[in-house]
Structure 1
């Protein structure tokens, strides 16, 4: 979701485009009832909805201004309501809880948190391997949005970046060639250009880390569910590489985003994903998540 460009110098189109790339200034695939551009008037600091756009996969943009202003958290939660992807109940112990949020009330998320089973601490795992969750970013899963001809990484880049231009690559006929990201973890603006080093600057993070999920119950899942989890857009977000490396596979009791304005969204998404997939939580993460939800 792109904030108004009023008050800042716009990048020239040539700085992000190429002769063969197609340009997109707004996410082209968000559902009509949820997608809205925002603008900020010169006389008030409140954000308002200014337009709508049709079609697309789930996603949640970052509504902040370049001068550091942040959008009201109620809008974050409204966006989160459609960002959660469907998770299908499995016979191996998953709860079958519908991950779609029917209410933007943080109390509903707190209610989910209250019924998630606790472990005294996170078990130490020596048998975790990334390959246990299948091929990284494969399009061949039953996760929401899969099977569209683009790998998961490019799907999330398309969802989360703004001012995008596109190009065709082997794993995606409409891959993001360039764009801008305001990392929700740090608040930093990053210019993304596909090429050597681009993967280090902008990375796709699993909000509930794969290694943490493995320790907290994913080891009992079958391969299909693990691969779904690893590619579920409800559990994925584009962030700056530095913040992602700092987080690593840490749980909320050991790491929360430096950008406090994102704590409500981060906690909401963490709780809903854990609840939907029937995972455990380490006991020390409960108060951290409750504190974050209190900021909603």
Structure 2
């Protein structure tokens, strides 16, 4: 099979265009896709997190994953999943059918992966969590924008993704870079006007208080 190296900027541009076409809104900075681009500083005083409204979650009984279209097509056989793999990997090569090969470090558990089929693209704020936290009455276009927003997508091992499931920070935190994870969680919820339940808000405050100062 003939392969070629697809540049990061080409795929990011395609991802941005697809998301903008879906939503008609400006997306967050695409650099959040890049590995090692933390939302919080590794040293020094952690920045102040945006305030989240605190409210009890709804039951989530209305949630149906099929109502949240994800992995929008970018053309040429590529989709949002492929773009995330391209952006977050090292030495990535993409075939003519958009088969992606390279090396990835799972941001949740630090595992090195060389087979992209072993990776999940996780919604950092799970779709079910969003549905329980204020997205109940979103339109399909709003749900699709959220589900394909690069600011909230990370390439991780399937094992770590299954361990996380749809849990919030009161129930699960990654083994690595918890400060960055908390910062991105809050940023995403703030951007989309989602709430935090009381236990979640307390866990966020406790975790953030332990971040380096």
By the TM > 0.5 criterion, same fold? yes
Q: Distance in 2 between matches of 1:242 and 1:205?
A: 11
More helix by share: 2
CA contact (8 A) 1:158 1:176 kept: no
Which residue pairs with 2:103 in the alignment? Answer: 180
> Against the structure 1 CA distance between its residues 60 and 138, is the aligned structure 2 distance closer, same or farther, given a 3 Å change threshold?
closer
CA contact (8 A) 1:164 1:177 kept: yes
Q: Distance in 2 between matches of 1:21 and 1:263?
A: 37
Which residue pairs with 1:84 in the alignment? Answer: none
CA contact (8 A) 1:181 1:191 kept: yes
Ranked by relative contact order (alpha carbons within 8 Å, sequence separation 6 or more), the top structure is 2
Provide the aligned length of Structure 1 versus Structure 2.
191
Which residue pairs with 1:76 in the alignment? Answer: 38
Q: Distance in 1 between matches of 2:33 and 2:180?
A: 10
Q: Does 1:29 align with 2:2?
A: no
> Against the structure 1 CA distance between its residues 167 and 148, is the aligned structure 2 distance closer, same or farther, given a 3 Å change threshold?
closer
5+ residue gaps, structure 2? 11-28
Q: CA deviation at 1:176?
A: 4.8
The alignment's TM-score, normalised by the length of structure 1, stands at: 0.58
CA contact (8 A) 2:88 2:155 kept: yes
- Say which of 86, 97, 109 aligns to 1:158: 86
Which residue pairs with 1:216 in the alignment? Answer: 133
Which residue pairs with 2:32 in the alignment? Answer: 59
Q: Distance in 1 between matches of 2:32 and 2:54?
A: 29
Which residue pairs with 1:228 in the alignment? Answer: 145
- Say which of 150, 168, 188 aligns to 1:273: 188
Q: CA deviation at 1:76?
A: 2.5
Q: CA deviation at 1:150?
A: 3.2
Q: Does 1:108 align with 2:39?
A: no
Q: CA deviation at 1:206?
A: 0.4
CA contact (8 A) 1:164 1:176 kept: no
Which residue pairs with 1:241 in the alignment? Answer: 158
> Against the structure 1 CA distance between its residues 60 and 215, is the aligned structure 2 distance closer, same or farther, given a 3 Å change threshold?
same
- Say which of 157, 166, 174 aligns to 1:257: 174
Q: Deviations over 1:209-248 (max 9, x none)?
A: 0001001111111111110000000011000110001111
Matched residue SS, 1:184: coil
5+ residue gaps, structure 1? 1-18, 31-55, 64-74, 80-103, 140-145, 170-174
Q: Does 1:191 align with 2:114?
A: yes
Q: Deviations over 1:11-37 (max 9, x none)?
A: xxxxxxxx511247xx7329xxxxxxx
Q: Distance in 2 between matches of 1:185 and 1:176?
A: 24
> Against the structure 1 CA distance between its residues 77 and 105, is the aligned structure 2 distance closer, same or farther, given a 3 Å change threshold?
farther
The alignment's TM-score, normalised by the length of structure 2, stands at: 0.79
Q: CA deviation at 1:183?
A: 0.6
Q: CA deviation at 1:277?
A: 0.5
Q: Distance in 1 between matches of 2:93 and 2:81?
A: 16
Q: Distance in 2 between matches of 1:78 and 1:213?
A: 22
- Say which of 65, 72, 75 aligns to 1:138: 72
